[in-house]
Amino acid sequence: TQQQRSTAQWRELDAAHHLHPFTDTASLNEQGVRMITHADGIYLWDSEGNKITDGMAGLWCVNIGYGRKDLSEVAKRQMDELAYYNTFFKTSHPAVVELSRLLAEVAPTGFEHVFYTNSGSESVDTMIRMVRRYWDVKGKPQKKTLIGRWNGYHGSTIGGASLGGMSYMHEQGDLPIPGIAHIEQPWYYKHGKDMTPEEFGVAAARWLEDKILEIGADKVAAFVGEPIQGAGGVIIPPSTYWPEVERICRKYDILLVADEVICGFGRTGEWFGQQHFGFKPDIFTTAKGLSSGYLPIGAVFVGNDVAATLAAGGDFNHGFTYSGHPVAAAVAHANVQALRDEGIVQRVREETGPYMQQRWRETFSQFEHVDDVRGVGLIQAFTLVKDKAKRELFDNWGEMGTMCRDIFFGNNLIMRACGDHMVSAPPLVISKAEIDSMLGTAARSVETFEKKLRERGLA
């Protein structure tokens, strides 16, 4: 078993040797990390024995919940049988075949083919290369540009970070790469002005048409978007947005790609977010809930006509050592099978999702500095605002979110601050009683936050 150390010793060694993602290392090392040592269901425990409610399912990924010994048993059995072999050079293995069959079953109709990666970013980079290859094979090699949204998130590889619309990422590494464009995000609360949500949804989709005409449809390869923008702060487009986006993509003959890394595998109550919004992409990218984070694995679901076109093009010169890794594939198979056969996705759609959405709105609509209370299935958020009546946001975007997030964390409830949006995406196995308990803690935390605002004369 693991070497037992004091929290202080863990912290010291971590500070000495471990570089964390998306972190200001110097400031982190001043405060020291929180050592998470165990987890079960929707709960984490830290090295000081504190029990923490994980309102974020890790990083939006532990859909099946923590502590599933059946998954660790599958991992051990597969590792003992075949710990690794590759899927290059005309070889395959039972684990990846069984996973591929299962994924074709749970996928929306028209998706029979899956390409494997190790992460969401690698799924996005794979998609970028597939999309450009598709148009080469179609004899339109000048169709290269992919359009994403500002404040969209598609990962941290060169391609994913370029396609994403986080400018603070573009500034580091001279991104975006050539052939990437962005349009404004469908954030009704900020851009909706005097339009109804339905009118705004169409208007926001038309921004895509404007961009296509600006670039030239003959140069545009694809439009890429998350059904609901996750890391951008749970930006839920009006119902009219995605059908209008799809219509525009068909009109100008550009591929439509859904990034389902967060929305996939039951998060919205449907298997995939595209089904909640009623649109059909040509390709979609996944990771996270595919294995519930138990092992790193991603998958690109390739629509039948894109798959046929790629196949007609002979060698597709792309792939990874661990594409279809046997242990990751076996665990993903067990995870997806459980999400389906234990009725977990169905329960989100029919029971716990509706319950969370009702209780979430009841809990947060009462606060003076909370607005745009929103959510679908088990992904939900609200925005911290300066003046609700005027729909006025706070200055210094993100400062209030950080302060509020720290209050939550101090109450042993993990939520995520994306700017001044407070967001939550708990494991899909959360019960109604656990929802009530989580929201009780959350309400107390927001009360403390508003008290702090008044003390600082900000409210």
Ligand X SMILES: Cc1ncc(COP(=O)(O)O)c(CNc2cccc(C(=O)O)c2)c1O
Applying CB under 6 A, among 159, 165, 230, 289 the residue interacting with ligand X is 230
Stretch that binds ligand X, among 27-35, 83-91, 116-124, 360-368 (CB under 6 A): 116-124
- Side chain identity, residue 385: V
Applying CB under 6 A, among 231, 336, 356, 422 the residue interacting with ligand X is 231
CB of 329 to ligand X, least distance (A): 16
Largest Cα–Cα separation, the chain = 68
Residues 332-371 that bind ligand X (CB under 6 A): none
Closer by beta carbon to ligand X, 113 or else 421: 421
Residue 125 interacts with ligand X (CB under 6 A): yes or no: no
Distance of CA 62 to the CA centre of its chain: 11
Closer by beta carbon to ligand X, 65 or else 419: 419
Closer by beta carbon to ligand X, 132 or else 416: 416
C-beta of residue 302 within 8 angstroms of C-beta of residue 130:
yes
Applying CB under 6 A, among 107, 114, 203, 262 the residue interacting with ligand X is 262
Stretch that binds ligand X, among 4-12, 225-233, 273-281, 389-397 (CB under 6 A): 225-233
Write the interaction track for ligand X spanning residues 30-69; mark x where CB under 6 A is met and - where it is not: -----------------------------x----------
User: What is the C-alpha separation between 429 and 259, in angstroms, rounded?
Assistant: 23
Helix extents (H) in 32-106: 57-60, 69-81, 94-106
CB atoms within 10 A of CB 73: 12
C-beta of residue 182 within 8 angstroms of C-beta of residue 149:
yes
> What distances in angstroms separate CA 147 from CA 272, 320, 343, 408, one per listed residue?
21, 25, 36, 36
Position closest to ligand X via CB: 120
Q: What is the 3-state secondary structure (H, E, C) of 161-172?
A: HHHCCCHHHHCC
Tokens 């947060």 belong to 364
Closer by beta carbon to ligand X, 192 or else 264: 264
CB of 320 to ligand X, least distance (A): 13
| Structure tokens, 353 | 């999702």
Stretch that binds ligand X, among 32-40, 148-156, 176-184, 268-276 (CB under 6 A): 148-156
Closer by beta carbon to ligand X, 119 or else 292: 119
Applying CB under 6 A, among 10, 66, 116, 153 the residue interacting with ligand X is 153
Residue 149 interacts with ligand X (CB under 6 A): yes or no: no
Q: Hey, what's the torsion of the CAs at 171, 221, 272, 61, to 10 degrees?
A: -30
Closer by beta carbon to ligand X, 222 or else 262: 262
Q: CB neighbours of 40 closer than 8 A, spacing ≥ 6?
A: 65, 66, 67
Applying CB under 6 A, among 54, 226, 270, 372 the residue interacting with ligand X is 226
User: What is the C-alpha separation between 86 and 443, in angstroms, rounded?
Assistant: 50
Stretch that binds ligand X, among 118-126, 213-221, 264-272, 449-457 (CB under 6 A): 118-126
Residue 287 interacts with ligand X (CB under 6 A): yes or no: yes
Stretch that binds ligand X, among 150-158, 184-192, 193-201, 361-369 (CB under 6 A): 150-158
Closer by beta carbon to ligand X, 155 or else 324: 155
Stretch that binds ligand X, among 96-104, 114-122, 210-218, 326-334 (CB under 6 A): 114-122
CB of 364 to ligand X, least distance (A): 20
| Structure tokens, 85 | 């072999």
- Sign of the Cα torsion 364, 66, 335, 68 reads negative
Stretch that binds ligand X, among 77-85, 154-162, 322-330, 388-396 (CB under 6 A): 154-162
Tokens 């269901």 belong to 41
Applying CB under 6 A, among 58, 65, 155, 159 the residue interacting with ligand X is 155
| DSSP 8-state class, residue 450 | H
Q: Hey, what's the torsion of the CAs at 400, 402, 404, 410, to 10 degrees?
A: -150
User: What is the C-alpha separation between 214 and 217, in angstroms, rounded?
Assistant: 8
Q: Which of 417, 157, 94 is closest to 285 using CA atoms?
A: 157
CB of 230 to ligand X, least distance (A): 5
Q: Is residue 116 packed enough to be buried (19+ CB in 10 Å), middle (13-18) or exposed (0-12)?
A: buried
- Side chain identity, residue 238: P
Write the interaction track for ligand X spanning residues 386-425; mark x where CB under 6 A is met and - where it is not: ------------------------------x---------
How many residues at the interface with ligand X, by CB under 6 A?
18
Tokens 């050539």 belong to 178
Residue 298, SS3 per DSSP: strand
Residue 121 interacts with ligand X (CB under 6 A): yes or no: yes
Tokens 């400018």 belong to 167
Stretch that binds ligand X, among 8-16, 39-47, 120-128, 210-218 (CB under 6 A): 120-128
CB of 153 to ligand X, least distance (A): 5
Q: Which helix (H) or strand (E) holds 356?
A: helix 353-364
**Contact positions toward ligand X, by CB under 6 A?**
59, 119-121, 124, 153-156, 160, 226, 230-231, 259, 261-262, 287, 416
